[in-house]
Amino acid sequence: MRLLSLFLFLPVVSHAQVGADGIATSVTRTVTLTADEADFSVVAGAGLDTSQDQIIQTLSDAGISGLTLAGTSLGQSFDYSTNPPIALTQVLYQFNFSVPAANLKDAAKKMEALRTNPPPLLKSLQYTAFMNASQSTVDAMRQTLLPQIFADAQKKAQSLAAAAGLKLGAIKGVTGSSQYVGSFSSASANTGTQYTFLANVTFSVSQ
């Protein structure tokens, strides 16, 4: 999937320190990406003798694909058609699936049809969805940012090495990560998701 529009670059945050192993720097960039994916979370309740495969088949028959099991638990619902109400124990299967942002409404219609008119196998159904940047979009942005982050780290390390009377050498080690920060939407912009990209870079030094 192609990298979508980048709305915003927030200020770079960097730190550096001189140690026995060289100069260690930490640089972060927070960016806002266009959300190109809708992530759904579904909780389907059924009788205790209902298997996971049966639930998956029921959802698949309704046009829902790409399901991954997130968890299984037990819960209770109440049948208020009797007096007093009858408590019913259910097995609850939680599934996740994702669709392109353009398919959000179509997937929501399928889930709503299941919720309002469930097949006999389903005793309950709840779902939520939120917009996010797809993993391919996040990975593509990481590749775009890494050269910039390395350049920032080297500049910071060079400044510290000069102040300490040392010569900056080659990169000795790199670790990195990315973290979802939050989402936003407005009337003038598409839904966006913020990610912070972090790189810890250690440089060798010499006298």
Q: What is the pLDDT along the chain (207 residues), one digit of tens a residue?
A: 333 334 344 445 556 566 667 898 999 889 999 899 999 999 999 999 999 999 999 999 999 999 999 999 998 877 777 888 888 899 999 999 999 999 999 999 999 999 999 999 999 999 999 999 999 999 999 899 989 998 999 999 999 889 889 899 998 988 888 777 766 554 444 568 889 998 899 999 988
Decide: pTM greater than 0.85: no
Domains 6-35+134-206 and 38-131 share a fold: no
Contact between 145 and 197 under an 8 Å Cβ cutoff? The reply is: yes
Q: Is 198 exposed, middle or buried (0-12, 13-18, 19+ CB in 10 A)?
A: middle
Contact between 77 and 118 under an 8 Å Cβ cutoff? The reply is: no
Q: Where are the alpha helices (DSSP H) in the chain?
A: 52-61, 104-116, 135-163
Domain ranges of the chain: 6-35+134-206, 38-131
CATH class for the region spanning 6-35+134-206: alpha beta
CATH class for the region spanning 38-131: alpha beta
CA-atom Rg of the chain in angstroms: 25
Please state, in angstroms and rounded to a whole number, the distance separating the CA atoms of residues 107 and 90.
25
